[in-house]
Structure 1
Amino acid sequence: LEGASLENIPQDDIQYLTDMGLIRRSVSGLEIANPIYREIIPRELTAVTQYNFEPLFQQSWYVLPDGRLDAGALLTAFQEFFRENSEIWLERFDYREAGPQLLLQAFLQRIINAGGRIDREYGLGRKRTDLMVIWKDQKIVIELKILYKSLKATISEGLKQTAEYMDRCGTDEGHLIIFDRRPGKKWSQKIFRRAQTYQGKKIVVWGM
């Protein structure tokens, strides 16, 4: 779910999940087997969190007068929430390494429910998670990355990946979210919002 490389995972576990039909091998590595499982697995892992979000966030707060989803306001709200509450909320997940991605997906699902849907793509070893929020006729690409290398290198790589995903999805609305999980890092150094352009595509980069 976080797109990280497999380390210290028994081969028997991988084979078991493959035999169960939950994951499969592709040309780009292991991946969740089909779109249904890509939807069900994160929903199941974040179901309780979505319920807890219900009194905290209302869909109407992030819908513009013309009916479009205000992705900027939505992600600003999550960024503020993540800064203030992430340490407490991430402890609630059994899979803490994927906690930031799961928390964001629970947040988005709370807002998107009954008005749209979220398409998800995961890739083991690719160190990213691709989300596409579909709201009526609006498509919003959100690329999630954990900071493993320098911030400059991560943004450079992420912009390319986000632009490619935007092109594949046929949208001009894209966001790149970088979670900095390094211990000892001050929030003032991790939190930012930058508007950037890559190959003619405008992409908003969020640091958390």
Structure 2
Amino acid sequence: PPNEDDQLYVQDLGLIRTRPKTEIAKPIYREIIPRALTWTIQTRIPQETTWYVKEDGNLDMPKLLDNFQQFFRENSDIWLDGFHYREAGPQLLMQSFLQRIINGGGRIEREYGLGRRRTDLLIQWPLDRTQGFHGPMQRVVIELKIQRKSLEATIEEGVDQTTDYMDRVGAEEGYLIIFNRGSDIKWESLPIRNDTVGGV
């Protein structure tokens, strides 16, 4: 469970509120807090935006997520040591990876399910550089979850959450990413992609 003193401290600072539910207090903090936690890691990830932009201007999300998966497999043990909060490390590393790429022309909005071990990300990527965020937009939802129950139950719950968020923000593209940090899990035994849920 969360440390009570830590929770009271950030509550006294005005960073979170606990009524009617525990959540980050202000929208701007949703952007500032993860950036502060991931900035150093983000600057050291060897990725470039141009690698993932298709000829039509859209982001190639399957390619991006495939490369993150390989990056995570090769580097997670080392990179996660850079986070003070290892429980949130996989989600923060994913956000660092995305921020490194999306900073080249788009933006990421975040919603947190505090206490539910999930983070909802909305990538907004302008398709017309002259109009920017006022023109046509590629909207992509990414749901990040830490697996605490069976994989089947986590997928079922995650798909519902992902599709609900997609409906709310008008996104046509959505991905569910589940992190299983069990030390006895081998990469070769993991389901790398499940097309039936439209995610990774």
CA–CA distance in 1 between the matches of 2:59 and 2:97? Answer: 14
1:158-197 map, 5 Å: 158-196=158-196
What percent identity do the matched residue pairs reach? 57
Instruction: Extract unaligned runs of 5+ from structure 1.
Output: 1-6, 197-202
Listed as ranges, the matches of 1:1-208 within 5 Å are: 7-10=1-4, 12-27=5-20, 29-53=21-45, 56-136=46-126, 137-196=137-196, 203-206=197-200
Say which is worse superposed, 182-191 or 165-174, in terms of deviation. 182-191
Distance 2:9 2:43 in 1: 31
- Residue 44 of structure 2 aligns to a residue in which SS? helix
Flag the structure with higher helix content.
2
2:131 alignment counterpart: none
Relative to structure 1, the CA distance from residue 52 to residue 8 in structure 2 (aligned partners, 3 Å threshold; closer, same or farther) is closer
Asked if 2 retains the 8 angstrom alpha-carbon contact of 1:180 and 1:190, the reply is: no
Could you give the per-residue CA deviations for residues 115-136 of structure 1, whole angstroms, max 9, x where no partner exists?
0100001122222110001101
**Cα gap change, 1:26/1:189 in structure 2, threshold over 3 Å: closer, same or farther?**
farther
Give the aligned residue type for 1:85. Answer: N
Q: Distance in 1 between matches of 2:191 and 2:98?
A: 19
Q: Displaced runs of 4+ in structure 1, greater than 2 A?
A: 12-16
> Does the 8 Å CA contact 2:49/2:104 hold for their aligned counterparts?
no
Alpha-carbon separation, structure 1, partners of 2:19 and 2:54: 40
Task: Work out the CA distance in 2 between the residues paired with 1:205 and 1:35.
Answer: 27
Tell me which amino acid in the other structure corresponds to 1:70. D
What CA RMSD, in Å, does the superposition of the two structures yield over aligned residues? 1.2
Give 2:198's aligned amino acid: V
| Structure 2: runs of 5+ lacking an equivalent | 127-136
C-alpha distance in 2 between matches for 1:8 and 1:117: 30
Kindly indicate whether structure 1 or structure 2 has the higher relative contact order, using CA contacts under 8 Å at least 6 residues apart: 1
Instruction: Report the number of matched residues.
Output: 190
